[in-house]
Every structure is written in C-alpha cells, then in structure tokens.
C-alpha cells in the first residue's frame, strides 16, 4: 500500500482536531484527512505536493547539517535517518533519526523568527507534540529530542534541543482517535471501490 494510504505521524495534529461544539469530537479537518487516507487506499493520491516550496527545500537542505550539529553538541550517534516505520498497513511514520535503543530526533529548520521563538520559548513545540508522540508510539521509543536549527543564527544560537518524553496517556488518545480515522478511511475507500466497479 502506498504511504499516502497510511495514517502517518505528520497527520497527528489533524487526528487530534476536534469539531466545533462539545458534541462534535471530530471536526472538518479530521474528516478531510480521513478522505485523503481513504482515497490513498484505492491508489488515488489527493495530497498536495509542497516539495517545491522554498521553506521545504531549505529544511531538506539543512537537515543533515542539523543532524551533525546535534551529534557534535550531544556526543550522540544518530542512526537510520529518514527510515519509514509502520504498524500493519494502517499507521506509519518517517523519523529523522534514531538515537541509541530508546531515543529519536525530530528536526525542524524554520524561518529565523520561528527559530528565535523556539530558542526562547519552545514556541513551535505545541504544533508538533502530537506528531512526536505518534512517532514514539509507532517506533516504540521512549523519548524524542525536538531540534530547531537555523544555520543563519549566530554561533551558540543555531541549535536548540528540547527533550520530549513518551506520554502513554497522550499516545492512548492518539491510538483511539487514529482508530476512528482508520475506520472512516476504510469506509471512504469502500465507497470509492464501489464507484470504480460500476464504471
């Protein structure tokens, strides 16, 4: 099954998005993501290609530099960079690197003002906390070093590392909601197969 048929860690924020009102636990963002996954399960990639965006290209170019800076600062060795991990044919993640037996890294190379705010306040951590916990679930790892890196910053401010520990309560909620999305994606995929068979 192509990766776009999986519920992946990059979707975790959408998995956790509620609808409006206390009686609507699954919002429009959640349902839209379920449609993307369902379409992927019949070979229809409805995702948007953002690889050409300057910010994405910058992040891809800087990732190895960030990894080396992290290794130099922590004396850790990073293994299996960008390796795909999956549970069954449903859930998966691509990690930026594995550290020892228990750790992993998640690298972000944001614009300079966001990096500054990460250095000062860990401001973007909330945007990625569900993604990190999802990846910890999939990989079975115990902690993740969230890395913000900007080579344009002065020496001493280029690398910012914040450790996130595995949170079983958060992971349990992610599993439950990802399971609901999985069921919905399967329902959508089945409807699409029916449409395909009648053509």
Highest mean pLDDT, choosing among 60-64, 88-92, 169-173: 169-173
List strand residue ranges (DSSP E) for the chain, in order: 7-8, 78-79, 83-87, 91-95, 97-99, 103-108, 143-149, 159-165
- Residue 120: its pLDDT value, please? 97
pLDDT digits (tens, 9 = 90+) for 49-63: 777 778 778 878 889
For CA atoms 101, 174, 56, 59, the dihedral sign is: negative
- Residue 47: its pLDDT value, please? 86
| Count of the separate structural domains present in the chain | 1
Q: What residue has token string 């990190």?
A: 132
Q: What is the mean pLDDT of residues 77-86?
A: 83
Domain range holding 154? 3-197
Question: Are the beta carbons of 28 and 14 closer than 8 angstroms?
Answer: no
Question: Are the beta carbons of 112 and 150 closer than 8 angstroms?
Answer: yes
Distance CA 136, CA 33 (A): 21
Q: What is the CA radius of gyration of the chain?
A: 18
Read off the pLDDT band of 82 (50, 70, 90): low
| Measured torsion, CA atoms of residues 177, 95, 77, 146, in degrees rounded to the nearest 10 | -60
φ, ψ at 163 (rounded to 5°)? -85, 135
Read off the pLDDT band of 194 (50, 70, 90): very high
103 strand-pairing partners:
99, 143
Report the CATH number at residue 73. Answer: 3.90.320.10
Query: pTM of the predicted model, to two decimals?
Result: 0.92
């Amino acid at each position: 099954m192509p990766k776009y048929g999986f519920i992946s860690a990059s979707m975790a924020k959408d998995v956790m998005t509620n609808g409006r009102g206390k009686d609507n636990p699954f919002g429009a963002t959640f349902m839209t993501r379920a449609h993307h996954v369902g379409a992927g399960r019949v070979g229809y990639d409805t995702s948007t290609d953002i690889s050409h965006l300057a910010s994405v290209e910058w992040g891809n170019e800087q990732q190895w530099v960030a990894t080396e800076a992290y290794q130099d600062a922590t004396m850790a060795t990073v293994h299996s960079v960008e390796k795909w991990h999956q549970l069954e044919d449903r859930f998966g993640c691509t990690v930026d690197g594995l550290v020892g037996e228990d750790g992993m890294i998640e690298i972000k190379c944001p614009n300079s003002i966001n990096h500054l705010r990460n250095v000062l306040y860990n401001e973007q951590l909330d945007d990625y906390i569900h993604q990190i916990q999802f990846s910890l679930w999939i990989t079975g790892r115990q902690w993740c070093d969230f890395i913000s890196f900007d080579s344009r910053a002065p020496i001493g401010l280029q690398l910012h590392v914040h450790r996130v520990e595995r949170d079983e309560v958060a992971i349990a909620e992610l599993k439950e909601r990802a399971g609901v999305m999985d069921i919905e994606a399967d329902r959508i995929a089945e409807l699409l197969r029916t449409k395909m068979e009648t053509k």
